[in-house]
Structure formats: C-alpha cells, structure tokens
A and B are shown apart, each in its own frame.
Chain A
C-alpha cells in the first residue's frame, strides 16, 4: 500500500473506533485469552443448504465441514489408496475383517450438538440417506461399491463392499458426513432439498451454527467441549461477498480475514503488497480445457463435421501455444497439466506424462490445407476464460482456423452443454482428490458429464484398469497409459490448472489449508492474545 495512504488510513481509523466508544462498545466483555479469536471469511457465494447429503457447492462444504464429521479424514498427503494416511474423526479405530468387510469403532466421546451420543445407527442411517434417490445426493453413485452398512452395537458399524479395489476406505469415509438420525428420521426424504434442517443444522463437529442472515453472513461458534480438542477460534463468520472481486476487496480492506483463492495475478499482486496479509499457496482441484463436440452441433445423430476427425482435434491441440497463454493471462500463477488433471493429483502430475507440444508445423500438416471455422462457447462469468478464448482465436487465425467466440451466461452455457448445441466449449472442472470418479464421468463413453460424446474404448478399458489397480505404482502406470491414449485421440485441449493461493490476515497463526476442503483444518488455527482486535473481543 502507498505509505501516504497508509498514514491517512491510520489517521481516520478513529471513525469506527469512535463509533464503538460512543455507543459503549457492548461487546468489550474482555475475552482476551488463547480461545477468543474470530475469523471472518469472505465467501463468493452463499450456501443453499447446510445439509451435507443434498449439498452441491464447495462453499457449503466449507461451512458444514465445521459442523459435521466424517468417520475418518483424508491425510495431509491427500492419498486415497488404502487407509494408512487417514486420520480418525468420528471413528476411533477400524479394521478389515475380510477383504470386503470394514468395521469401524466409533469414538464414545462423540456427541451431537443437541446432546445425544453419536451411534453406529447414525452411520447406517446416513448411508441409507445418501443412497436414497429421493434425497438426490450428488454423492449417491460414489457409494455404488458399498453393498451395505449395518450397526452391530451402538459403537460398531460394518461396511460390506461389493468388490475389492484400492479406494474402498476412501469411498467409505470421504463422501459422507455422518447425520443425526434422531433429527432427520422423520423428515420425508423427498423434502430434504428444502428441509429447515439445512438452515439450522445440528452436527457433531467442532462448531455449531449460531446465526444465518440470508445474503449477509453465517456465524458458527466453537464447541468448547469438542471431543477431539477445543478449537482455538471462538467464532467463524462467513461474509457473503457475492463474487470474487468483492471477496478480495473485503480482505484487502480488513473487513474479512481470509479468502480461499485469489485467482488473478492482479489480486495476487494486491494481496502481496498488503503487509497485513500472508499468502498460502496450495494445490488446486480444478483444471480448464476446451471440449470438442464429437457430434454435430444440435444433432447428436450425426458426427461433427470437424471434430469427428481425430487429426483435426490433434491439429488444434498442437496449434495452441499454451505456455504463452499461461504467461499472458496468469503471469506464471498457473501450470499446464500433463493430462486432464488438477494440481491436487500431485502423484500423477509428477509422472512421466508431458503436455502436448506447441508445434504449428505439425498442426498445419494435420490440417492439410483446410481452413475450418467453429464456435467456441465461453461463460461470461469468467474473465480469464474469455481472455484464453481471445488468445486461442488469434493463435488459430494464424493457422487459418476461424474461431467465433460465443460469450454466454452460466445458465445458457450449461444448457448448451447438456443439449449438445455447441462445437467447442471452454470449461473449468473441479475434481475429487482421486481421478477414479471425475475422469470416467467426463471422458468415459457412458460418463454422465461426457457432454461431447467422446468414445474411446481403449481409454475406457485403461481407466477401469487404473481404478482397480491395487498399488499406487500400478495405478500410476495405468493412468499414464489412459492419459496417453487420450492424448493420441484428444477429446479436449488441456489449457491450465491454477496455482491456488489463499490470503489470510497475519494475525491468524498456524494456518493450514486442506486442498480438498479449504477451511477443513480451521479448528487448529489460532489468534495469539497479543493479536486480538475488537472483533475477537466482541461476542454475543
């Protein structure tokens, strides 16, 4: 910040202070110890429901992961194979009775925020709810491999699997937050999407909901008797900013303490220049790509006149100067993935796969003198994707390829995808910690979000092999082969994966970001007593 402005800012800081002094500052009750901290998060979007079984957004997950617990939490290395990296949450311990049977022993200290203990019946109820089509959980199909979940006593619950695969433990623990059966049993499943419980949730986690002012803020208070240790931060508040720019402005002005991702180089530069903020890079879970439609625009019965030809798609992949685009748009704050993967899959990212080269000679050879033209749909909500579209348009123009950019709003963009009325789209995808779910869903012949109708039997077979591989090395080799098959017959142009950078106020200590759930470790954050400010001392 400009020093002159900083002085001016300090000089006028009396305004809110005077306001509080004049009004008696009712909250100055004197909370001054290690457990007083209040952290305000700037949230780009407001949660719809805090009932995890019907949740669909990452912003909701940020909040309800403080209220609800899983049986076990994915470890800091993000490994999804086996169970050795997982840390206990509601389950104190677990064992494999046989290769298809997993037994969890619940922590007897765990209690619901309204008093009753968490029991094995709650776990069985949760599984049943997540699997119920009436509930319409986004994670329903992720539990397909689990045949049954049954409670044998109040603290023991048994998971039976249909088949053996390396991510059995991940599937049993990652997708479900355990729900209170005593509060939800009588709520008709078909109404869960709009159930009042979603606005007044009761969980067994370190924080409980204290207020939710629609359009403005959500406040959680720490449970001082939380069985896994008292959280240091007394209050967590999400301020609804409405969009990324407003979120960043809130953090820069000190009205919020943390924002999970800065995205643009301009935001990163502003946050770096602000001495009140510390930046925390972490592996991102998104990647961006241009998807080709293999079927004719608006007529799925016919092949696409351009993109049904693998050579045309390969020419367009080779004709895109991705290093130049990453530099131009992100000033180096993004990377080119070696395949369809986010930086979160670091074990796969570090494999021998390499991004396709920029080779205009080979691209021109594959185009064989053709001068094709196609429409590229881009969501208007994403300025960075719009920049990418314009750069691609210019690069392809030099190859004799005409790109017509169709900028549409999100709702229209989604409809174009689902109806198949597009030639190509510039998309962003957020993934799970493992490739097993999203890769097949996006690019597999029967994948529910394979909007371009890409079909590659060899790739599908390799994905099945990779998902069933019993060791990390075998899985890595199989995924490499699968992505190699995809590179030979590309369904898309992989463009970039963001370097996620969170900004958190310096007064917050012990900050750790969990890549798959940004604020998942917030209960271990703290604000030292000498860093407390008015908002920490104030309280209900």
Chain B
C-alpha cells in the first residue's frame, strides 16, 4: 500500500511538472502579448516596455523558465500581469468559490443522478423508465453554457427568482447577520450549481441505471430474493452497493469535467472562481496566472484520481492497492 502510494505521488508530481512546463512554453509561444490596451485606448509603447521590464519579460525565455521554477520551488507563484496582485492571493480568493460551486454541483449531480438511476432500474423498461431516459439524455446532451443562459434568462431575468450574477449581493451582504450571509451565498449559488449539476446528473443517472441493471442480474441478488428479502432491500442493500463502485470512480473522473464546465458557468454568472480567473488570464496573456491556475487544476485532477482509487479500494474489498 505504502509503495503504491509513493509511486502514485511520484507519478503525480511528474505529471504536474511536465504539464506546467508544457504550459509555460505554450503560453509564451502563443500569438499575442500581455499588457493589452484596455478599452480601445492604445497603450503608449513606452509604457508597455516599462511593464515588460518590470515583470522580466525582456529576458530570454530560458531565463524566465528557470526563474519561474526557482520561484515556484520557494513557494512563490509570481505576480499577475493583469491584476497586479500575487498569483497565490488571487488563486486563494478564487478556489473557495470554485470549490463551493463544484461541490454543490457534485451534490446535485450525484444525488439526482443516483436517485433517478435507482428509480429507473427499479422500473426498467416501463413507461416511466423510458420517459426518464429521454429526459436524462436531453440534459446530458445540453451544452452547459446554453442551459446557463436559459436558466439565467428565465429564472433570473424574467421571473426574478434568483440572482443572475456574483456570489453575494455586495450592497446587502456585509450588513446581514451570519445566517443571512449564508442564505445570501446559497441564494446566489442556486442557478450556477443547478446548471452544472443538472447536466452532470443526466450522465450519472444513465450510468447508475446501467450499473444497477447489470448488478441485478448477478447470482447474489437472486440469492437475496430467494431469501425472501423485500425488493427495495434487494435493490438498495445488495445490488446498489455493487453498482456504486463505478459511480465512485465516475466521481473522481467527474472533477476535471466539473472544473471544465465551471469555466463556462463562472463566465456566464460572473462567478469569481478559478475558471473565470483562468479564462481572464488566458485572454490577457497573463502568464503567471495561467501557470498558477494550470498548476492548481493539474494538482486537483491528480489528487482527484488518487482519492477515487482509494475510495474504490475502501468500498470494494476485492481491490488491493499494490505497487
């Protein structure tokens, strides 16, 4: 187990190093430059030159690469060109927002998805199963940004049920008591989390249904039924536990997908998370911020898959983690 863990950590570190190195080269070689003229007001070339010197961009690429990784080894992620703040500070501000959003989306995704999958499997090939299969397929096929725009338009703009942007109401939030601040945050979370969660739930439900139907065909289920157990108990206590394993693996894989989806959702709902930070950084050619967000996303994916493997091992005694 320990050897397996050490090997996975070493492999993870190598993946992170290679990804960040490739990103470093790619962003520097990509067309375009940082310090864009804002608002259609051309920047004086003298000002651009001063900024390039200030941020070390007048140095050869190799020197910049060595400096970047040297700083990273000291725990410094550099200073954002476009936001003029330390990258670590910007990421630290954005991560809780993205975690909140993806966690809420994950809860909606898996709660809805598993429940629908269970319901469908229990009523396999009946009319309700077919209807739900179509509904889940519809949500699964939806582009996330499209659903976001529709929910924003209908539930935000037309009906006025939920806010269309931001994580809180900046005019009211600070004056609310603790419970009110929590409510304000949840109120703003509804539309972005629902968008991300609904699309994911479509896929999870289909996955859960298929896994359950497969499990229901196994001998131990037949044995359970032969023992005289009630059908809900057979379904939930026996078949579902077995069918949960692939869904747990899916949770680990779902993280990168959720992070990718969050990029679009955060842009549509002006949600100041990691995805929005990354897209802003890319369009501004803010190299340190692009690298910082890439570093974090890579670490999250590597860690996510490690945790998924550990969970699978915990849930299934047949799986042994060996080097």
> Which A residues form the contact surface with B (CB < 8 A)?
1-2, 5, 8-9, 12-13, 15-16, 19-20, 22-27, 29, 38, 40, 45-46, 48-49, 56-59, 133-134, 136-138, 140-141, 190, 193-194, 198-199, 211, 213-217, 219, 235, 237, 239-243, 246, 249-250, 252-255, 286, 381, 408-415, 418, 427-430, 441-442, 448-449, 534-535, 538-540
Contacts and interface: CB of A to CB of B under 8 A. Distances in A.
B82 interface: yes
A5 B39 contact: no
24 contacts: A5-B158, A16-B187, A19-B184, A24-B179, A40-B170, A48-B82, A57-B38, A59-B38, A136-B46, A138-B43, A140-B46, A193-B54, A199-B85, A215-B94, A250-B164, A253-B157, A253-B160, A253-B164, A408-B31, A410-B36, A429-B40, A448-B46, A535-B172, A538-B171
Contact of B83 (A48, A140, A235, A237): A48
B12 interface: no
Q: Which of A235, A243, A414, A540 has the most CB of B within 10 A?
A: A414
Interface stretch (B215-223, B269-277, B304-312): B269-277
A334 to B, nearest CB: 15
Interface string B169-199: 1111011110110011001000000000000
The 5 tightest CB contacts between A and B, nearest first, are: A411-B32, A27-B175, A215-B272, A23-B180, A136-B50
Given A239-B170, A429-B42, A193 B176 contact: no
B168 interface: yes
A9 to B, nearest CB: 4
Contacts of A217: 166, 170
A45 B38 contact: yes
B75 interface: no
B108 interface: no
Contact of B276 (A27, A242, A535): A242
B156 interface: yes
B84 A194 contact: yes
Contacts of A26: 175-177, 180
Contacts of B79: 194
B306 to A, nearest CB: 30
B126 interface: no
Contacts of A214: 83, 85, 90, 93, 272
Contacts of A137: 47
B180 A216 contact: no
B161 interface: yes
Nearest to A57: B38
Contacts of A8: 158-160
Q: Which of A26, A219, A239 has the most CB of B within 10 A?
A: A26
B183 A22 contact: yes
Contacts of B45: 418, 448-449
B284 interface: yes
Nearest to A416: B31
Contact of A249 (B34, B94, B152, B272): B152
B41 interface: yes
Interface string B94-119: 10000000000000000000000000
Q: Which of A1, A193, A539 has the most CB of B within 10 A?
A: A193
Contacts of B280: 242
B285 interface: yes
B160 A12 contact: yes
Contacts of A198: 84
A48 to B, nearest CB: 5
B204 interface: no
A428 B40 contact: yes
Given A19-B187, A141-B44, 11 more contacts: A15-B187, A22-B179, A23-B179, A58-B38, A214-B90, A217-B170, A242-B270, A411-B32, A414-B33, A415-B33, A442-B42
B165 A255 contact: yes
B19 interface: no
B298 interface: no
A237 B39 contact: no
B171 A237 contact: yes
Given A26-B180, A137-B47, A214-B83, A411 B285 contact: yes
Interface in B21-38: 31-34, 36-38
Contacts of B90: 214
B57 to A, nearest CB: 13
Contacts of A22: 179-180, 183
Contact of A430 (B40, B152, B159, B167): B40
B249 interface: no
A141 B50 CA distance: 14
B284 A25 contact: no
B58 to A, nearest CB: 14
A250 B170 contact: no
Contacts of B33: 411, 414-415, 418
B51 interface: yes
B42 A449 contact: yes
Contacts of B36: 410-411, 414
A16 B176 CA distance: 12
Interface in B139-161: 152, 156-161
Contact of A255 (B47, B54, B163): B163
B172 A215 contact: no
B224 to A, nearest CB: 46
B283 interface: yes
Contacts of A410: 32, 36, 283
A239 B166 contact: yes
Given A214-B90, A215-B276, A414-B36, A255 B164 contact: yes
Given A215-B94, A253-B163, A411-B33, A57 B180 contact: no
B294 interface: no
B50 A133 contact: yes
Interface in B197-215: none
B273 to A, nearest CB: 8
Interface string B270-299: 101000110010011100000000000000
B31 to A, nearest CB: 4
B64 interface: no
A418 to B, nearest CB: 8
Contacts of A449: 42, 45
A237 B164 contact: no
A216 B170 contact: yes
Q: Which of B45, B50, B276 has the most CB of A within 10 A?
A: B50
A29 B172 CA distance: 12
A241 B277 CA distance: 13
A11 to B, nearest CB: 9
Q: Which of B165, B169, B267 has the most CB of A within 10 A?
A: B165
Nearest to A414: B36
B46 A133 contact: yes
Nearest to B267: A242
Contacts of A430: 39-41
A249 to B, nearest CB: 5
B286 to A, nearest CB: 10
A51 to B, nearest CB: 10
